[in-house]
Amino acid sequence: MERTLVLLKPDAVRRGLVGEVLRRVEAKGYRIVALSMREADAETLGAHYAEHAEKPFFAGVVAYMSSGPLVALVLEGQRVVEGFRSLAGATDPTVAAPGTIRGDLARDWGTPEIQNLVHGSDSPESAAREIAIWFPSF
Ligand code: UDP
Ligand code: MG
């Protein structure tokens, strides 16, 4: 069964949207098979966002992701990688489609980094790599 790694980013926790996002995931029919609230350290975030290490927004995104507790999840279901990305919507919340998590619940707050509530793995290979980072015993 396919799995994906989802993060409810610190803005989701701060804004009290954990329940709303989990509701959408469960209503869609995906199964939550691991869930943990924690504060991410720099090492974990560096590994998680390794593909973006050279990007100009890297330091900002690490600061954002370290700004408070987040919730890490593993979801399971047929084509869940693609399906959660579809639920999440486009990276930029201003243009993310209404009906998506980012389109309905996120916006531009004028911060240098894009605060968009959720992360979802972008391929089954990324999911395996990211699940090993966040849930090494899984
Ligand atoms: N991000 C940002 N500025 C950018 C691009 C991305 O702050 O110009 C942040 C944003 O929070 C995004 C994360 O870095 O979710 C990872 O970027 P990616 O392009 O992988 O987007 P995603 O896969 O999350 O949609
Ligand atoms: Mg990505």
Q: What's the rounded Cα separation, in Å, for the pair 10 and 128?
A: 23
Whether residue 90 has its Cβ less than 6 Å from ligand 1: no
Is 121's C-beta closer than 6 angstroms to any atom of ligand 1? no
Q: What is the pTM of this model?
A: 0.98
What's the 41 CA to ligand 2 centre distance in angstroms?
A: 19
Q: How far apart are CA 102 and CA 116, in angstroms?
A: 6
User: What residue ranges do the domains of the chain occupy?
Assistant: 2-130
Q: What is the CATH number of domain 2-130?
A: 3.30.70.141
Q: Give 9's pLDDT tier (boundaries 50, 70, 90).
A: very high
Task: Say what percent of the chain tops pLDDT 70.
Answer: 100
* Residue 50, pLDDT score: 97
Mean pLDDT of 75-92: 98
Distance 49 CA to ligand 2 centre (A): 8
Model pLDDT for residues 14-23, shown as the tens digit of each residue: 999 999 999 9
pLDDT digits (tens, 9 = 90+) for 90-125: 999 999 999 999 999 999 999 999 999 999 999 999
CA–CA dist 138, 14 (Å, integer): 27
Q: Has residue 138 got a pLDDT over 90?
A: no
Chain mean pLDDT for the chain: 98
